[in-house]
């Protein structure tokens, strides 16, 4: 399993636009990428323009394929006018935890 955290920051005044684009991206991933196990949008308390995506992929191939989808390409293009900077993306490795459904 591949786990990724991505931090995206909106330009001032573009917070709602970024949130809408991210929500649309979640819907696209849900509909078109069955190997994506989790793709969850989070906001940051006290920082209305800062968003985090928590992502889990079944394997390396699924992770790589995600970046080449048409919806990811369209999303990346839309971010040029909305984002304050490039997203910060990090891969993390779970050590221990609890996950309940």
- Quote the pTM value: 0.92
Mean per-residue pLDDT for 12-28? 97
Number of domains observed in the structure of the chain: 1
Convert the pLDDT of each residue in 26-52 to its tens digit: 999 999 999 999 999 999 999 999 999
Three-class SS of 12-61: CCCHHHHHHHHHHHHHHHHHHCCCEEEEEEEEECCEEEEEEEEEEECCHH
Asked whether residue 80 is assigned to any structural domain, the reply reads no
Burial degree of 10 (CB within 10 A; 0-12, 13-18, 19+): buried
CA separation for the pair 33, 37 (Å, rounded): 9
Mean per-residue pLDDT for 76-96? 96
Asked whether residue 46 is assigned to any structural domain, the reply reads yes
Q: Residue 12 has what pLDDT?
A: 97
3-state secondary structure of 83: strand
Whether residue 25 has pLDDT greater than 90: yes
- Domain residues for the domain of 29 are 1-52
Whether residue 99 has pLDDT greater than 90: no
Asked whether residue 28 is assigned to any structural domain, the reply reads yes
Q: In which band, very low, low, confident or very high, does the pLDDT at 90 lie, cut at 50, 70 and 90?
A: very high
């Amino acid at each position: 399993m591949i786990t990724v955290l991505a931090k995206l920051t909106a330009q001032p005044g573009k917070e709602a636009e970024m949130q809408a684009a991210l929500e649309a991206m979640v819907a696209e991933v849900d509909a078109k990428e069955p190997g994506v196990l989790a793709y969850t949008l989070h906001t940051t308390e006290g920082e209305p323009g800062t968003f985090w995506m928590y992502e889990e992929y079944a394997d390396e191939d699924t992770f790589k394929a995600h970046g080449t989808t048409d919806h990811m390409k369209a999303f990346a293009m839309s971010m040029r006018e909305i984002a304050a900077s490039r997203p910060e993306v990090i891969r993390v490795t779970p050590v221990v935890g609890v996950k309940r459904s």
